[in-house]
Amino acid sequence: MYTKKVMQHFRKPHNYGKIRKPDGIGKVGNIVCGDVMWLYIKVGKDKKGEEILEDVKFETFGCVAAIATSSVVTNLARGKTLNEATDINKNEVVKHLGGLPPIKIHCSILAADALAEAIYNYLSKNKRPISTKLQKRHKRLEQERMIIEEKYKDWTKEP
């Protein structure tokens, strides 16, 4: 059911864990199956002085596909400019995994969404301009996140 690539990323996921003092966090959840993904970014500058994602890490509570897509998204996002990273979509993620079963496509959307949310979080914290597209996306994801957070409130302890 899963490709070799998916299983490789699932068995040895890249970039999992927290980033200490991240510049942005994206928390998303899947309201259908209940999976949760948290993604952390650290922003730096490249040689030309443009802002890039220096480090990207994830934490995922979910299925094989959810873990594999998290791993791929963090790989793809590293070193990209903020705009480039925001444009990473599920098709790119799925392509990198050599395909996903149709019922598991929503897991890859979750990963791309988590990245976009982390970037949104960074931009808004730093009072930077945010494209309307990203704002709209954030609105939708924020609503879903609230449903998910309510569901998992027993499991999350505020630090």
Give residues in contact with other proteins (CB under 8 A): 2, 7, 10-11, 13, 16-17, 27, 32-38, 59-64, 66-67, 103, 151-152, 155-157
Cβ distance 15 to 37 under 8 Å?
Answer: no
Tokens (6 digits) for 93: 């993620």
Least distance in Å: CB of 87 to other proteins?
Answer: 25
Positive or negative, the CA dihedral 62, 95, 42, 115 is negative
Kindly calculate the radius of gyration of the chain based on its CA atoms and give it in whole angstroms.
Answer: 15
User: In this structure, how many other beta carbons lie within 10 angstroms of the beta carbon of residue 125?
Assistant: 11
Does 67 bind ligand FES (CB under 6 A)? Our answer is no
Least distance in Å: CB of 134 to other proteins?
Answer: 23
Does 63 bind ligand FES (CB under 6 A)? Our answer is yes
Does 74 bind ligand FES (CB under 6 A)? Our answer is no
Contact region with ligand FES (CB under 6 A), list: 40-48, 63-71, 111-119, 135-143:
63-71
Considering 53, 107, 111, 123, which one is annotated as catalytic? Answer: 107
Q: Pick left, alpha or beta for residue 51 (phi over 0 → left; psi -120 to 50 → alpha; otherwise beta).
A: beta
33 included as an active-site residue: yes
63 included as an active-site residue: no
Does 107 bind ligand FES (CB under 6 A)? Our answer is yes
Q: Where in 118-157 is the site for ligand FES (CB under 6 A)? A: none
Return the residue of 15, 27, 28, 30 that touches ligand FES, per CB under 6 A. 30
Q: What is the DSSP string of 15-41?
A: SBS--SS-SEEEEEE-TTT--EEEEEE
**C-alpha span between 119 and 42 (Å, rounded):** 10
Count of residues that bind ligand FES according to CB under 6 A: 9
